[in-house]
């Protein structure tokens, strides 16, 4: 069976949903960040698949993927800095136990 | 459409990607999750190669595997007190989370199939076999059509750099 656009879209949808499940259920803040990286990757697969199959001459989708990767790197940096700060102050990285701002 | 060989490679890579992604979200030991995240990111780079995006595959390996995943592993090691103990790694919304994720998958799959069934749904290109030198073309686009987002992203990176330093340094330094 030959692989076309729909297979890449399906792969991306499955990957996104796995990431979503992880982000919803992980207690460890680093685990949540890892799940979010999975979701970013699913989005990038979509961008690049559309870039290849719809208009291969204009590679706008790949440029968008470059931006997504950059923003994901920035997000991971600041996110992990915040996680380490929470760990230093509360000795805690489980997101359901860090409820200082909850009432 | 991909060629026969590329299709076979796609199935192998898709299998590895999904299995390692499931391990990332479900393993008890967060350090093993991080290692499977590395495998998953590598196989996504393989998907990029199949889609003729060699430059992005290289960027994926450099930034995600070399940067983000290593950063994750560092953070896991710095907080290792929490990972070695036999505490629960998932909250009590496990069933609800699975339900939400699965229904989202159904919605997206339904949308894809419906768009496919419409005539000319995705506006597929008739000849998707044009090969262009991607680093050259991406660089050209970044400095012409996308120069404003490009500059904004560089400012964002600077902000993230300063933000991470400010957040992570000890008080009084």
Cβ atoms of residues B30 and A28 within 8 Å:
yes
* Ranges of each domain in chain A: 5-90
For residues B73 and B15, membership in a common domain is answered with: yes
Count: domains in chain B:
2
For residues B144 and B69, membership in a common domain is answered with: no
Q: What CA–CA distance (Å, rounded) separates B37 from B15?
A: 14
Q: What CA–CA distance (Å, rounded) separates B124 from B130?
A: 13
pLDDT in tens, B30-59: 889 999 999 999 999 999 999 888 899 999
- Position B119 in a domain: no
Question: By C-alpha distance, which of A25, A33, A15 is closest to B95?
Answer: A25
Poorest-confidence range of B8-12, B85-89, B134-138, B142-146? B85-89
Gap between the terminal Cα atoms of chain B: 58
Q: List the domain range (segments joined by +) for residue B173.
A: 131-173
Considering CB atoms only, which of A24, A57, A71 is closest to B132? A57
Bridge partners, A28 (sequence order): A94
Cβ atoms of residues B102 and A33 within 8 Å:
no
Partner-chain contact B25 A82, CB within 8 Å: no
Better-predicted residue by pLDDT, B83 or B74: B74
Only one residue has tokens 């073309």, namely: B137
Which tokens go with B42? 């590598």
Better-predicted residue by pLDDT, B132 or B21: B21
Q: Please compute, for residue B10, the number of CA atoms within 13 A of its CA located in the half-sphere on the CB side.
A: 25
- Position B111 in a domain: no
Please tell me the distance in Å from A33's CA to the nearest CA on chain B.
Answer: 8
Considering CB atoms only, which of B63, B78, B161 is closest to A69? B63
For residues B1 and B80, membership in a common domain is answered with: yes
- Position B151 in a domain: yes
- Position B109 in a domain: no
- Position B23 in a domain: yes
pLDDT in tens, A41-83: 999 999 999 888 887 777 888 999 999 999 999 999 999 998 8
Question: By C-alpha distance, which of B82, B80, B167 is closest to A94?
Answer: B82
Can you tell me the ipTM of this complex?
A: 0.91
Collapse the DSSP code of A56 into the 3-class scheme (helix H, G, I; strand E, B; otherwise coil) and give the result. coil
Collapse the DSSP code of A94 into the 3-class scheme (helix H, G, I; strand E, B; otherwise coil) and give the result. strand
- Position B61 in a domain: yes
The size of chain A, in residues, is: 103
Partner-chain contact B156 A38, CB within 8 Å: no
Partner-chain contact A31 B89, CB within 8 Å: yes
Q: What CA–CA distance (Å, rounded) separates A25 from A94?
A: 11
CATH 1.10.287.3510 fits A5-90, yes or no: yes
**Partners of residue A10 in chain B, C-beta under 8 Å:** 109, 112
Partner-chain contact A81 B132, CB within 8 Å: no
């Amino acid at each position: 069976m030959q692989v076309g656009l729909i297979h890449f879209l399906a792969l991306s949808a499955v990957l996104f949903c796995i990431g979503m499940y992880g982000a919803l259920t992980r207690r460890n803040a680093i685990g949540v960040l890892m799940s979010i990286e999975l979701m970013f990757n699913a989005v990038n697969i979509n961008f690049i698949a559309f870039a290849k199959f719809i208009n291969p001459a204009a590679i706008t989708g790949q440029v968008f993927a470059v931006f997504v990767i950059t923003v994901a790197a920035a997000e991971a940096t600041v996110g992990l800095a915040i996680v380490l700060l929470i760990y230093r102050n509360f000795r805690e990285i489980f997101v359901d136990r860090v409820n200082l701002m909850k009432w | 459409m991909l060629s026969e060989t590329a299709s076979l490679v796609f199935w192998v890579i898709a299998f590895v990607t999904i299995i390692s992604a499931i391990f990332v979200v479900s393993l008890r030991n967060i350090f093993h999750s991080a290692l499977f995240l590395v495998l998953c990111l590598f196989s996504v780079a393989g998907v990029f190669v199949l889609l003729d995006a060699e430059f992005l595959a290289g960027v994926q390996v450099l930034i995600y595997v070399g940067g983000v995943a290593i950063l994750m592993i560092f953070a896991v090691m710095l907080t290792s007190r929490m990972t070695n103990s036999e505490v629960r790694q998932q909250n009590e919304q496990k069933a609800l989370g699975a339900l939400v994720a699965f229904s989202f998958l159904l919605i997206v799959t339904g949308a894809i199939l419906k768009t496919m069934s419409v005539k000319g749904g995705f506006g597929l290109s008739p000849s998707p076999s044009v090969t262009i030198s991607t680093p050259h073309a991406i660089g050209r686009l970044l400095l012409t059509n996308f120069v404003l987002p490009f500059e904004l992203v560089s400012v964002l990176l600077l902000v993230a750099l300063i933000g991470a330093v400010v957040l992570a340094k000890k008080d009084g330094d």
